[in-house]
Amino acid sequence: MSGTAIVLYFHVHQPFRLRRYSWFDVGRQPHHFDDGGNAEIVRRVAERCYVPMTSLLTALAKEHEGRFRCAFSITSTVLEQMSRWAPDALDGFLRLVDTGCAEVVSETSHHSLAFLGDEDEFRAQIEAQSDRLEATFGQRPVTFRNTELIIDANVARIAEELGFRALLGEGADHLLGWLPTSDVYRPHGTERLKLLLRNYRFSDDIAFRFSNRGWEEWPLSAAKFSRWMHEVAEDARQVGLFMDFETAGEHQWEETGIFEFMRHMPGPLLDGGRFRFLTPGEAAAEIPAERDLELPFAVSWADAERDLSAWLGNPMQRAAHAALYDILPDVRRAAAGGRTDLLEAWRKMSTSDHVYYMATKGWTDGEVHEYFSPFDSPHAAHVTFMNALDDLARRAASAAREPAAAVS
């Protein structure tokens, strides 16, 4: 088919935030996570975002008789929270998938940085996530997005080895150079995998700039956005609009008009036949790869640098990340002996948000980190994490010794 594909993709995630875990709790308190706070947050986000947004997307799929299509990834951590505390939100995602117009995208189950820490764990989390998505939504994912859209050559290699057809990534200037984000690429070293890139200008117009009254283009209407999109080169193969699901209702409040924008956005784009909405898997199946693309370093969609500095940019973050993976062998031995609860606790601590809260960046990026963090400071986030990890390490080491002690 001719025309430019619009690949509209959303990321859905909530971490299991740690409670204020002090040094005095180590060895005494096995409960590391703030269940009360996590329940309160997911219920609030469900009311503001998940329920109205899934309802809106479902209505758009029906209104446009299947021509409007979208995709979303949804971590196991937020699936568990919705199951426990906001089942109406999960029902909304199920109804959206039932339209046949939404693709479910896989990632790591716990939104982790396992691709850096341990390849076996990386693969295990991906397989567990794909299994859970298939069991929940009835779809076996064919598209993979790594945590925070991080891509490099190793991520691409593993995604292909695990059978994925498409990989999502950030169209960062320092990766592409003169190449356009609108091409479909083959990650260098892979044979079948297609790489679809995010158009950060158009995506960020919606996700970040929409409610900024100081932005020279404010307010952004569906008609204006359609006009910009129609200025895209005629030979563009795809435009990747990738953003957090929480953009509508949580990051951009209802009062900003974000839901009205989303409601009216597809119509002008579908009129005239220039554009068509495709899910990532559909785009990968239909659009040939233009050329190979080298992925010599890690690229993400986070912060101005679009690298790994949002999570590993300072010594606190790097120390926490290293300490987490140092205890994984004991956690695995404990799990093999029956203490799977310790592996699940470890995986919840592997969620990248925990080191994200420790970032010490300044200016705008620093403000974004502070907005998402439940802690008063990066240092407080680091102390809490290390205390909880110390407790988990002691419990895992003790459990890992138990089978050997029982045999003797």
Q: Residues 319, 323, 324, 328: is their CA dihedral positive or negative?
A: positive
Nearest-angstrom CA–CA distance, 127 and 213: 43
SS3 145: coil
Nearest-angstrom CA–CA distance, 331 and 396: 5
Does an H or E element contain 84, and which? helix 76-85
Nearest-angstrom CA–CA distance, 162 and 154: 12
Nearest-angstrom CA–CA distance, 237 and 213: 32
Strands (E), 45-190: 70-74, 102-105, 143-144, 166-170, 185-187
Six-digit token string for 299: 């690229």
Nearest-angstrom CA–CA distance, 302 and 363: 14
Residue bearing tokens 């973050």:
317
Q: Is 148 a catalytic residue?
A: yes
Catalytic residue among 80, 103, 148, 160: 148
- What percent of the residues of the chain are helix, what percent strand, and what percent coil, each to the nearest 5? 50, 15, 35
Alpha helices, DSSP H only, in 187-339? 200-207, 222-229, 258-264, 266-270, 280-286, 309-312, 315-326, 328-336
- Residue 5's DSSP bridge partners are 238, 276
Does an H or E element contain 370, and which? helix 363-372
- Which residues are catalytically annotated? 148
